[in-house]
Amino acid sequence: MNEERTNAASEATDGYFLRADGITKIYADGTVALRQATLEIRPREILGLLGENGAGKTTLTKILSGLLPPTKGRVVSPRGPVRFSSPREALDFGIGMVHQHFALVGTFTAAENVALSHERPFSFVQLGKTKEQLERLMAESGLRVPLDVPVSQLAVGEQQRVEILKVLSRDVDLLILDEPTSVLTPLEVDELFALLRRLRDKGTSIILITHKLKEVRSVTDRIVVLRQGELVGDVRTKETSAEQLAQLMVGRALDDASRTVELSDEDLPTRREARRADDGRVVLHVEDLVVRSDTGEIVVDHVSFDVHANEILGIAGVEGNGQSELVEALTGLRKAVSGTATINGTDILGVDPRAIYQLGVAHIPEDRWELGLVLPFTLAENAILGIHRWDEFRGPLSFLRWGRINRHVRGLIDRFEIQATGPSAPARSLSGGNQQKLIVGRELAKDPAIIVASQPTRGLDIGAAKYIRDLLSEMRDNGRAILLVSADLDEALARADRIAIMYEGKFMTIRTPDELDRETIGLLMGGVTTKEVA
């Protein structure tokens, strides 16, 4: 039935199933996620959607699957414009999405999870019928999962298959998969791709979101590349090369008149030369570090590196390749499996965060709301998080010296130009940039030997981002060691003295920025090692 519908649709039109027509998406905070993206989705085709973090891949698919309304532009089907106000409407139309984070009830079986997704208010759950349908579907697609086991007991790959079955059971014509391979083993990836090819041959269109060059080239028919919200390439997979894709993905804008208007010289991270990068002593020494993720996979895979005083070591790479876990292991927030890490010779693995801070570590965390701040707390309360036990702020009987604390906070407000009504303003009331300045100010006040900065400028406006980058450079010049983890390649290239590219838990290379060109970086970030690079 699925097939008939698709065939009918494809015959009736000039070859597309859905078209995104000049889609622009501007989020409430002013971020432009997509600019005038026009894209055709054709039947019987696997389309790869390639791009760095924040390129707009997810936004685009969320608009197609009804999770987000576009700010401008429309989605057109051969039967006319379509507008979805919910994922359910999109599903009814025949578009289903499998998200990176699964939406499964762990204690339910696969059959129950699928039945749940079919449920409407006041309808009966028809478990028997669902099972029958699933058996049929599994036989057709060759996608097998145990139906009567609680999904929490299934492997991640199997859980993903349940998600795919959930969507397929709704007779979709377009299946969207968001980074489906990031949680899979190589064997599972092969199985998934075989399945996708079978589905395509049966007439389903598939959109595969990924940042892995190898995979996108092996399975797709056509590749669309997004960069900073713009559609910069639409190529047939057969006619392209990894180099071309890497260039499209990370290359500096080819001829963007539109972007130069908004970006003055100010915004582009400016290069700052180190004073003496190589004769600084080793502050952080990491050897053979192995770390597991929450779900138990090895996400930091025998990584070794040093960070010297007077040096910024940048870790670039697409997010989710182990950077967060690496930082967490180094700051005491996550247990390492094996390996060593020392700061000025003292072992820091398995030591709790407080002891690590006492060795002179400042940590600017990736997630400033979840980790960096207690949002309902005031500015003053947040400004002493982690240093609240210092003698400067804590008197006898553990009494806090609010007078001194408030003076300290006013100092931070002045020095770091934090826009706030005063020390007693709730941290929640500050803008993102000012919240980040507060965190940076607090961490720098620790007079650290090493600063671990994770995505320190994410989501900040241009001025605040530059300010924080300059501060980091200044700290470097003052003899600090800095580990800068950034998904922003421009930032890493401009500020780091050496750059490591991280891919699937490993460092692909550690070089000075001058030794790397963008194309090479793009390839390394996508997991491709060429002879010249290796």
Residue ranges binding other proteins (CB under 8 A): 331, 333, 352-354, 357, 363, 365, 370-377, 381, 384-386, 388-389, 393-394, 397-400, 402
Question: From the CB of 348, what's the least distance to other proteins, in Å?
Answer: 13
Question: From the CB of 389, what's the least distance to other proteins, in Å?
Answer: 6
Burial of 119 (0-12, 13-18, 19+ CB in 10 A): exposed
Taking CA atoms, 16 is separated from 8, 196, 236, 416, in Å, by 12, 19, 16, 54
Contact 164, 143 (CB under 8 A): yes
Three-state SS string across 341-384, please? EEECCEECCCCCHHHHHHCCEEEECCCHHHHHCCCCCEHHHHHC
Question: From the CB of 492, what's the least distance to other proteins, in Å?
Answer: 23
Closest to other proteins by CB, 229 or 332: 332
Q: Residue 252 has what DSSP assignment?
A: P
Question: From the CB of 283, what's the least distance to other proteins, in Å?
Answer: 20
Q: Which amino acid is at 73?
A: G
Close Cβ partners of 510 (under 8 Å, ≥ 6 residues apart)? 305, 313, 498, 499, 500
Closest to other proteins by CB, 195 or 371: 371
Closest to other proteins by CB, 255 or 352: 352
Closest to other proteins by CB, 20 or 362: 362
Question: From the CB of 364, what's the least distance to other proteins, in Å?
Answer: 11
Closest to other proteins by CB, 147 or 384: 384
Q: Give the separation between CA 205 and CA 314, rounded to whole angstroms.
A: 39
User: What is the chain's Cα-based Rg?
Assistant: 25
Closest to other proteins by CB, 226 or 383: 383
Phi, psi (deg, nearest 5) at residue 454: -110, 115
Reported as type and span, the H/E element at residue 87 is helix 87-93
Question: From the CB of 294, what's the least distance to other proteins, in Å?
Answer: 13
Closest to other proteins by CB, 24 or 228: 24
Give the number of residues written for the chain.
534
Q: Give the separation between CA 425 and CA 227, rounded to whole angstroms.
A: 38
Closest to other proteins by CB, 222 or 334: 334
Question: From the CB of 274, what's the least distance to other proteins, in Å?
Answer: 29
Question: From the CB of 373, what's the least distance to other proteins, in Å?
Answer: 6
Contact 79, 19 (CB under 8 A): no
Question: From the CB of 85, what's the least distance to other proteins, in Å?
Answer: 10
Question: From the CB of 28, what's the least distance to other proteins, in Å?
Answer: 11
Contact 34, 58 (CB under 8 A): no
Three-state SS string across 138-180, please? HHHHCCCCCCCCEHHHCCHHHHHHHHHHHHHCCCCCEEEEECH
Reported as type and span, the H/E element at residue 324 is helix 323-330
Laid out side by side, the sheet with 32-41 consists of 32-41, 18-26, 72-77, 80-82
Find the Cα–Cα–Cα–Cα dihedral 458, 462, 464, 470, rounded to 10°.
90
Closest to other proteins by CB, 79 or 388: 388
Question: From the CB of 399, what's the least distance to other proteins, in Å?
Answer: 5
Closest to other proteins by CB, 217 or 368: 368
Closest to other proteins by CB, 24 or 141: 24
Angle at 214 between CA 210 and CA 217, to 5 degrees: 80
Reported as type and span, the H/E element at residue 443 is helix 432-444
